[in-house]
Structures are given as C-alpha cells and as structure tokens.
Amino acid sequence: MSIFNKHLPAIHVEHHKNTTDSATVKMPVPDKVYLSMVQHIGAPCQPTVAVGDLVKVGQVIGDTDAFVSAPIHSSVSGKVTAIDKSLTMTGIWDTIVTIAADKTQEVAEGIKPPVVEDKASFLKAVRDSGLVGLGGAAFPTHVKFNPKNLEEVDTFIINGAECEPYITADYRTMMEDSELLINGLKNTLKYLGIKRGVIGIESNKAPAIAKLREMVKDDPEIEVLELVPVYPQGAERVLIYEATGRSIPPGKLPADIGVIVSNVSSIVALQTFIETGMPLISKKITVDGNAIRTPKNVEVLIGTPIYKLINFCDGYKRVPKKILMGGPMMGRAIYDDGMAVIKNNNAILAFDEEFATVPKETACINCGRCTKACPMMLMPTLIAKAYECKDLPALEKLHATLCMECGCCTYVCPAKKQLGFINKMAKQFIMEGGKK
C-alpha cells in the first residue's frame, strides 16, 4: 500500500472487469485500415505517401518536423487507396490515409532493432517507434522523456492502476508481456539516468503484483507498489502523490517535481521496438459493455474500423445507444462505429439505451458530496454556477482549469448533476479567454 497515511479524495466505483481472465486474442488483418494523421497531442502529421503507393508493415506513412509530434506507421502491407478529410470524435478535421490490405503483411525494409547506446539514441528510438501516451492523453513519449530538467528527475512511475471500470487491457499486458515491461523499464531508467522505478498497481490485480514482484526481486531500484483500488487512482497526479508524496503545483508538470509517468502499454511498445524495430502498429483493447455479445481483450491493428472490431467480438447483442472510446468515467463517446482504432485507444465499450440514458437532474441539495469527492480539491458546484453566469474571473479564482475531468463529482451527486461535463465546458470557456 501507499507509504502515506493520507490519500487524496477518491471514490469507489463498480468495476465490471468482465474480461480480467480473458487472454488477449489477435484479430485478423482487416480489408482496409484508416490511419488518422492526428493521433497525438501536438502538430498533426502530414501524409508521406500518395494515393496508389504500395506500402509495407511498419513503414512511415505520416510525419512532421514539429517537435511535439510522433510519426504514423502503416499497420498493414497493401495499397494507399485514398487520402481524405474526416471529422474526429473531438470535432476537428483530420486527414485519413486509407490502405487496402493485401493480407501478406510484408514487413518494410529497414525494420530492425535500433542501435541504442546512450540517451540520444534512446530518445531517437522512442520517437522512431511512433510512441505516444497510450493510457489516454497521447502526448508524444519522446517529448515527455526529455524534459529540460531530466537530471533532476529521480523517479519513473509505470501506471498499472487501470482504475476505470470494464477495462482490463493493461492488466492483460502486465500478465502477458511482463518481460517486455520489466526490460523496457530497466532500459528507460538506464538511458534516462533515473534512479528509482515504481510500478503502481491496484490491490485488486494481485496476480500482476505477485508476478512483477517476483521478476524484480533482485532489482532494488524497482518497486512494485500496491495501491488502494479506488477511482481515479490511475490519474497522473493521484498516482504521483501515492508513489512519492509529492503534489504537482498548478501549471507545472510531473518532471518539475522530479517524476515521469508512463503507461504499461507504452513501455511494452517501446521495448518491442528496441528488440525488433517494429514500431507501434497494434494495440491491446478491451471490448465490453452490455451491448457487446462476447466481451474480449483483442490485439488489433491501428486503423481497424471499430465495427470490424465489434464484429470480431460477435457483434452487438442489443442496439447500442452509446459507444465509448475508453472507460465509462473518462472515455469519449463516438458518433459512428465506422471510426477507426487510434494509438491511445484502450477500450471500446458499447451500452444499450437503458444503461446509457442520462438520468434526469433534480435540484442541488447542497450535500457537498461533489466537493468531498474531488481529487483536485475543487468546488464543482461553484465552478458550475460560475460557468452558468459566464463569470471568467470567478472561474479563474476557483482554479477550474485544474479539473482533470475524472467525473467523480458527477458520479457521487444524488441530484444527478452533470458537473464533470459542465466543468469541461468551463475549462474550454477559460481557454478561449471567456468568449461568450
């Protein structure tokens, strides 16, 4: 358990981890993949291929010179059949490269383990792997691993908390790819010159804790930290506090307090690249929800249409009302199951009408539960009121931008107020300088 007696506010959510014991199954190559050029925070990539080009597995098909970015690789061998614009789930226009798979999965020339011998070659390998934060934020990993004050970073944390209901893809990764995970962590510590490695896992994943502890029993620099199974234990700020007792001041980054955090799948993908030279072209994804006939953990090629992934899980058993990319607490609803799997996609959940209907709001009873539940110690009701009045100074005073959109306030509210969503809008309002 955490070495600290005090924990940040958190909530207990029903876990519904139906696929905990479902070993990952590999999905066959689809007929076509649709590769988005916006799969990370930062500058979008530009296609480096043209319609009619033949491509191979692992070939770069999108890149940019911008620093905050990561290249996009083809997940199939085949022919580029279209490059066109499409709306993403966040409502921005994106360029999509469509590739018709020839099903031979011929690997691109030049795919071989990179030469990694120091920090510079390691960071180059991280960028070349196409890695971004696979746990949700999609921040380019080579940027995260290279803060200005790297020499002051003393702790590298792997986030194995996986506190969102339903999702078990990281748990399966820890059980199935544990050697890649530990070797990836050791390489990261070595080449970044970081002294301490921590793998934070909730206590409800005891087999993963036991397995990884056994593997690092002779590595005093690595600790497998058992965490209390509460939500949002996997949120970066919460995890850092649990592992180090340090809090991130407003406007600062984890590296500013000597910490870098990475997701389980990111480290496994990085080590895969170091050992084989094959960049990030596939993902482990949990497919679940009460509208899915056979929930599974699936290894799927990036760019695969979501309806194909759902068909691989024997399709819908109920008419889906809501399909989420990610978990029910922080995931995003998608408007079309024809959208494709992207790098930071860790779950596809589909729910029927009964389950997905938003409950009717009633009047606030001033119970204060939302405030007590907020891990960021914010006052969600006051933020909501300030947003309703479009009161920018009040929102700033209430530090609304610190909201990490965890949804704890919404979850505990007996009046069913959509506080998390309102706070999200409030953040957007602040970012736009209070434009009405």
Is 134 a binding residue for ligand SF4 by CB under 6 A? The answer is: no
Number of residues that bind ligand SF4 (CB under 6 A): 29
Is 395 a binding residue for ligand SF4 by CB under 6 A? The answer is: no
Choosing from 368, 428, 431, 434, the residue that interacts with ligand SF4 (CB under 6 A) is 368
Choosing from 272, 381, 392, 429, the residue that interacts with ligand SF4 (CB under 6 A) is 381
Q: Rounded to an integer, what distance in angstroms lies between the CA atom of residue 180 and that of residue 219?
A: 16
Choosing from 61, 269, 347, 403, the residue that interacts with ligand SF4 (CB under 6 A) is 403
Chain centre to alpha carbon of residue 59: 24
Choosing from 169, 198, 406, 422, the residue that interacts with ligand SF4 (CB under 6 A) is 406
Choosing from 78, 136, 200, 380, the residue that interacts with ligand SF4 (CB under 6 A) is 380
> Phi and psi of 207, rounded to 5°?
-60, -35
Is 116 a binding residue for ligand SF4 by CB under 6 A? The answer is: no
Of 47-55, 210-218, 255-263, 373-381: span binding ligand SF4 (CB under 6 A):
373-381
Choosing from 45, 324, 423, 429, the residue that interacts with ligand SF4 (CB under 6 A) is 423
Site string for ligand SF4, 325-364 (x = CB under 6 A): ---------------------------------------x
Is 225 a binding residue for ligand SF4 by CB under 6 A? The answer is: no
Choosing from 409, 422, 426, 429, the residue that interacts with ligand SF4 (CB under 6 A) is 409
Give every CB contact of residue 283 below 8 A, 6+ residues apart in sequence: 134, 169, 265, 299, 300, 302, 341, 343, 345, 346
Is 187 a binding residue for ligand SF4 by CB under 6 A? The answer is: no
- Comparison of 101 and 373: residue with beta carbon closer to ligand SF4: 373
Is 376 a binding residue for ligand SF4 by CB under 6 A? The answer is: yes
- Comparison of 111 and 415: residue with beta carbon closer to ligand SF4: 415
Is 28 a binding residue for ligand SF4 by CB under 6 A? The answer is: no
Is 386 a binding residue for ligand SF4 by CB under 6 A? The answer is: no
Is 422 a binding residue for ligand SF4 by CB under 6 A? The answer is: no
Is 137 a binding residue for ligand SF4 by CB under 6 A? The answer is: no
Is 408 a binding residue for ligand SF4 by CB under 6 A? The answer is: yes
Choosing from 324, 374, 386, 392, the residue that interacts with ligand SF4 (CB under 6 A) is 374
- Comparison of 125 and 404: residue with beta carbon closer to ligand SF4: 404
b/e per residue, 15-46, with b = 16+ CB within 10 A? bbbbbeebebeebebbebbbbbbbbbbbbbbe
CB of 255 to ligand SF4, least distance (A): 21
Is 227 a binding residue for ligand SF4 by CB under 6 A? The answer is: no
Q: Rounded to an integer, what distance in angstroms lies between the CA atom of residue 132 and that of residue 138?
A: 5
Of 44-52, 106-114, 287-295, 369-377: span binding ligand SF4 (CB under 6 A):
369-377
CB of 183 to ligand SF4, least distance (A): 35
CB of 86 to ligand SF4, least distance (A): 29
Interface contacts to ligand SF4, rule CB under 6 A:
364-370, 373-376, 378, 380-381, 403-409, 412-415, 417, 419-420, 423
